[in-house]
Chain A
C-alpha cells in the first residue's frame, strides 16, 4: 500500500462521494479483485464472495463518510468491511464451505495452469492444490485470514495488521498457528519420511 496509492484512493473516494461515477468505478476496479479473492478464500463460496464484494461497495456508495482517513487507508477500510461481512457469513453458515465451482455461467472460475508435464503429474498436482485449498478453508477464521492475507495475497505483516486491525505480533502468532495447523491437516509431517526415503 504505497502512500501515493493511498492518496489517490482518498481523492477517488472524495470525488465519488461528490457524485463522480468515473472515480467510483476506478476505485471499484482497483480493489474489487483483492476483496473478491479474500472473500472467496475465506468463505470458499463464490456466491458469498460476490455478495460480500457487492455489500462492501454498496456500503461505500451509501455512506462514504464511514471511512475515516485518520484510522487507515481506503484499502484497509474496505478489507475491514469485507471482513465483517465474511465473519457474519461464517457465523450464519459455518459449515457451508465449498470450493469454487468451475461453472459454465462464467462464474469465479479459477484459472487452470497449463502444465506441459505428464497428465498423471498434472492430476497429482491439481489434487494436491485442491487439498491445500481445502485445508486453508478448514482453518479457524482468525488463522485463515492471516494465512490468506500473508501467504496467498502476500501482504506484509504490517499491511495485514492494518487490515485486520490488530498488532503485528498477533499476526505473527496467528500465522504461526495457521502454518502448523496446515501442515498437520495435510498430514505432510506423517508422509514426509516416506517421501524422503523415496527420493
Chain B
C-alpha cells in the first residue's frame, strides 16, 4: 500500500466504519511509514474534535423568540384564512338566496301567466286613459268565461263605494267581473235579499291599492 492509497482510504472511509475497518495492509503500512502514522493520528484527532464539537453543540437550539414569532405568524395566517373563508361563504349564501328569489319570482310570474284564472284576470285588467266622456256599451247579458272583456270607464255610470274619494278615475283600472249580487253587500251596497244568489256582471274601478273604489251595475240583471 502506498502513502497515497493509505490517505485516500483514511479520508474516504465512513466515520462509523472507520475504527474497525483498519485492514491488515493498513496496519502494516502504518508500522513502516511514520508520515502516514502521523497523518492517521492527526485525522483521528480531528475526527474526535469534530465529534466532541458535535456532542457539545447537541443541545444548541433556536431561541424561544423564534418559536413565538413563527407561531404568531401561524395564528395570523389561519385567522385571516378563517375570516376570508367565512366572507366567501356569506357571499355565496347571499348569491344563492338572490338566485332563489329570482327563480321563485320568475316561476310565480310564469305560473300566473299560464293559469286559466290568471288568463281571465289578465284579460279583464286594463289601464284606462283619462276620462273621455264617451261611454262604451256593456253587453247586457254579460260575458261568458273565456271571452275577452272590455270595460269602459264612463265615470257617470259608476257608483262610488262608501269611503271612496271622488275624482279617482283619471288613471284607474276598470275590471269586469261576474259575481253574485250578495257579494255587493261586502262592498257596502244594499242588496235585495231575494236576488242575492243571482249572478251579475259588474264593472269595478280599482284604486292604486287594488281595492274597489266604485262599481257600475249592469243595466239588466239575470
CB A187 to nearest CB in B, in angstroms, measures 10
Is the pair B63, A183 in contact by a Cβ cutoff of 8 Å?
no
Across-interface contacts of A90 in B (CB, < 8 A): none
CB B11 to nearest CB in A, in angstroms, measures 5
How many residues does chain B have at the interface if contact means C-beta atoms less than 8 Å apart? 41
Chain B residue at minimum C-beta to C-beta distance from A199: B41
Chain B residue at minimum C-beta to C-beta distance from A153: B54
Is the pair B11, A152 in contact by a Cβ cutoff of 8 Å?
no
Q: Is residue B1 within 8 Å, beta carbon to beta carbon, of the partner chain?
A: no
Please report whether the interface of chain A is mostly helix, strand, loop or mixed according to DSSP.
Answer: helix
Q: Is residue B184 within 8 Å, beta carbon to beta carbon, of the partner chain?
A: no
Is the pair A40, B15 in contact by a Cβ cutoff of 8 Å?
no
Q: Is residue B220 within 8 Å, beta carbon to beta carbon, of the partner chain?
A: no
Is the pair B66, A32 in contact by a Cβ cutoff of 8 Å?
yes
Please pick, from A29, A132, A196, the residue contacting B50 in the complex, using a CB distance under 8 A.
Answer: A132
Is the pair A62, B77 in contact by a Cβ cutoff of 8 Å?
yes
Interface-lining segment among B68-76, B134-142, B146-154, B208-216: B68-76
Is the pair A16, B57 in contact by a Cβ cutoff of 8 Å?
no
How many residues does chain A have at the interface if contact means C-beta atoms less than 8 Å apart? 55
Chain B residue at minimum C-beta to C-beta distance from A176: B11
Q: Is residue A88 within 8 Å, beta carbon to beta carbon, of the partner chain?
A: no
Is the pair B62, A49 in contact by a Cβ cutoff of 8 Å?
yes
CB A199 to nearest CB in B, in angstroms, measures 9
Listed by A's residue number, 24 A-B pairs whose Cβ atoms lie within 8 Å are: A21-B71, A21-B75, A24-B74, A28-B71, A29-B67, A32-B67, A35-B62, A36-B62, A37-B61, A41-B57, A50-B63, A50-B66, A53-B62, A54-B69, A61-B74, A106-B63, A110-B57, A113-B56, A129-B53, A153-B54, A154-B54, A180-B11, A192-B42, A193-B34
